[in-house]
Chains A and B, each alone.
Chain A
Amino acid sequence: MNPSERRNLRNGLLFILPWVIGFVTFCVYPVLKSFYLSLCDYSILSPAVFTGWQNYVELAGDEVFWTAVSNTLFFAVFAIPLGLLLSLALAVLLNANVRGRGVFRTIFFLPSLVPMVCLAVLWQWMLNGDVGLVNDALRIPLNAINSLLGSDLRPPNWLSDARYAKWGLIFTMLWGVGNSVVIFLAGLQDVPVHLYESAEMDGANFRQKLWHITLPTISPVIHFNLIMGLIGCFQVFAVPYVMTGGGEGPGRSLLFLATYLYQNAFEFWNMGYACAIGFVMFLIILTLTLLANKLSERHVFYAGK
């Protein structure tokens, strides 16, 4: 390294130093500290006492933790594909050259601007079993079926029945797909027009163009939305927390990993245990992201490669 390169390196390091200090202080240190705390009995108020892997051993045998894991996985398995499909379908429709396209795009984007707490309160009432608008709408076809077949079909008590609570939450979250729609739209507008033109000259129909041109071209965008959705699903907290009035939902059906972490940290005074939950969450998200990246090698196409 000659003197000029050394000077450049020094200057470069000095320029990024404020960021490095911030990153180390507010990211690296808290992560390392919380890992240490996950190995301790720590109530926030008293000094932490090192207990080794005890928190992790207890987690392995904690059935409520496993309920939270299974609820989170259930939510991720259904909410991510449904969210991706819906946002992609909406983006394809909103990308069509129709009159008033801007207005439609705004209408579909608007719900994602609603704050989480308002979204939760709004859907709490929409999904109300007795007076909710969703059930009012469902009662019309169900009553028709009942009068035809003499059956006694009733709309579900969405948020107070463990069988339907998670589905109620999934529908609620689908309302906020506007952000992914915008990202998909940006991807769709980046698809080279000449590819469609040559496909049309070869006689390709809409479905063939979508399958062979659009989807492969926007596959990096789908991949990005998948990873973001995955992280979002594992961190779901505010909406179910508000919807259940700060609780866990009927039969703990809306208890997610982030909620259980919060409960242990701030309601049960078990910060060490909460840190251990946080690290398990991190490992699950890391594994799934690596898995998604591995799968993406075969199915995601980058134009620059």
Chain B
Amino acid sequence: MFSLRHWSLHLLTMVCALALLVPRLHAGQPVVIRYWEKWTGFEADAMREIVDDFNSSQSRIFVEYSSVSQIDRRLTLAIAGGVPPDVAGIWAYNIPVYSENNALMPLRSPANEAGIREEDYLPIIWKLCSHREQLWALPSTPGNTALIYNKKLFREAGLDPERPPRSIAELEEFNQKIFKRSANGRIERIGHLPEEPGWWNTLWVQSYPDRFGAENLLGLRDGFGNFASPQNPFFTGRVAMVMQGVWIYNYIQNYAPADFEWGVAPFPTNDREKLGDISVVECDVLVIPTGAKHPREAFEFITYVNSQKPMEKLCLGQRKFSPLRACSDEFFQKHPNPHIRTFLDLAKSPGAIAFPRVAVWNAINADMRNAVNLIWTGKASADAALHAVQERQQKALTRSEARWERVKEPLQKSWNSQ
């Protein structure tokens, strides 16, 4: 029989052996980093390919990729709970609120170390990834807006399908020519509807209720199907010109009739000479949340995605243009979207703009949506509705700035030291 002392000795030896062995076992294992992304469907598949390429290109880091819905809300709770993923794919307009709340890791230093430079990117993209003189993200895939129009409806209205409108006045002139009313008085077709699909709350709408009748417009919009469906009014020919983005190609492929003919042009402006080709640019970005367990490895993965070849593969898979300045001819040759160069030119244009870089952007957007609705239905004049938004949101912005002033000094100090 073994004595108790004998057993204790054995146990101690085993514990010591395990303690020595575990780090060795661990040392042979790759570091697993968790990556949350918002995409589903073919966009998620395109990124999965990049993740697989990265995982097989080396053995030190393994990226665990998960598609997460409502990512901004889940990420907020995960960061607050201290269990964030190592990499997260969010929208660039989220950066101000996350960074001002110390929820992201600053990337300027690691980017410098990795030789990533502002000059490598389209100017607007770098701007979208930065906030308060710090770099917070690197891009995954960008998107921007343009005028997308139905060539067939142009022809039917006696317009030249290769000559899209260039000014707002021309757009409204074309609108009037394409406009059609059915025998029962309902609007059958409209050239352009600023409220379609209701994503841009910054377009002019004041004249619409007077010209077409508020009730008629409401009835017209009520009959529209979902954006991602064959009943999308642009695909069914009920609206001939829309402000849409580079992503429209995928929806046309999936939902529009086979003989759908479409053109892309810069969205008309009042003063093209002065304003240039206006295009709203947004970008899906990769960030490292505060509290990430493996920030160094996470940044290595982000750097890989941002190198030319993987980036072109990702953007090709998602049918978008590359956010990098350097882009191979092969990329354009292989790209299925025939208008991809137009979108890229618009993103490069001096008129390429971003949503305001403020932490209260969501609240401003909600107020603008309501203001546009009031103007649209003839319940308020544009002046009154916008004045109300200005007054309310100025207060929110002041509050948000006060919040920033309270924390900025220690935060900036800590960011600069990282």
Contact = CB atoms under 8 A, between A and B. Distances in A.
A45 B80 contact: yes
Contact of A157 (B215, B373, B379): B215
A157 B73 CA distance: 33
Given A251-B374, A267-B362, A45 B102 contact: yes
B407 A269 contact: no
A63 B389 CA distance: 11
What is the predominant secondary structure among interface residues of chain A facing chain B? loop
B374 A44 contact: no
B177 interface: no
Contact of B363 (A130, A131, A268): A268
- Most central of A45, A46, A63, A267 by chain B CB within 10 Å: A45
Interface string B337-354: 000000000000000000
A250 interface: yes
Contact of A251 (B215, B373, B396, B407): B373
Nearest to B290: A45
B53 to A, nearest CB: 33
Contacts of A157: 215, 218-219, 222
What is the predominant secondary structure among interface residues of chain B facing chain A? helix
A43 interface: yes
A269 B404 CA distance: 13
Contacts of B73: 266
Interface in B218-260: 218-223
Classify chain A's interface size: 20 to 34
Contacts of B221: 160
Interface in B66-108: 73, 76-77, 79-80, 97-98, 101-103
A154 interface: yes
A287 B399 CA distance: 32
Nearest to A132: B222
A154 B223 CA distance: 15
B79 A45 contact: yes
B6 interface: no
Contact of B222 (A45, A63, A128, A251): A128
Interface in A82-125: none
A257 to B, nearest CB: 16
A46 B101 contact: yes
B63 interface: no
A160 B218 contact: yes
Given A247-B369, A263-B366, A45 B219 contact: no
Contact of A268 (B80, B219, B360, B406): B360
A247 B367 CA distance: 11
Nearest to A160: B218
B88 to A, nearest CB: 13
B373 A250 contact: yes
A130 B219 contact: yes
Interface string A242-276: 00000110111000000000010011110000000
B101 A267 contact: no
B101 A269 contact: yes
Contacts of B363: 267-268
Contacts of A130: 186, 219-220, 222-223
Interface string A213-250: 00000000000000000000000000000000001101
B379 A251 contact: yes
A254 to B, nearest CB: 11
Contact of B377 (A128, A131, A162, A266): A162
A107 B399 CA distance: 53
B377 A45 contact: no
A131 B406 CA distance: 53
Given A49-B406, A247-B369, A251-B374, A44 B77 contact: yes
Contacts of A250: 373, 377
B218 A129 contact: yes
A250 B222 CA distance: 12
Contacts of A251: 370, 373-374, 377, 379
A132 B218 CA distance: 14
Interface of B: 73, 76-77, 79-80, 97-98, 101-103, 186, 215, 218-223, 359-360, 362-363, 366, 369-370, 373-374, 377, 379, 392, 396, 399, 403, 406-407
9 contacts: A41-B399, A44-B80, A45-B76, A129-B223, A157-B218, A157-B222, A248-B369, A268-B363, A268-B396
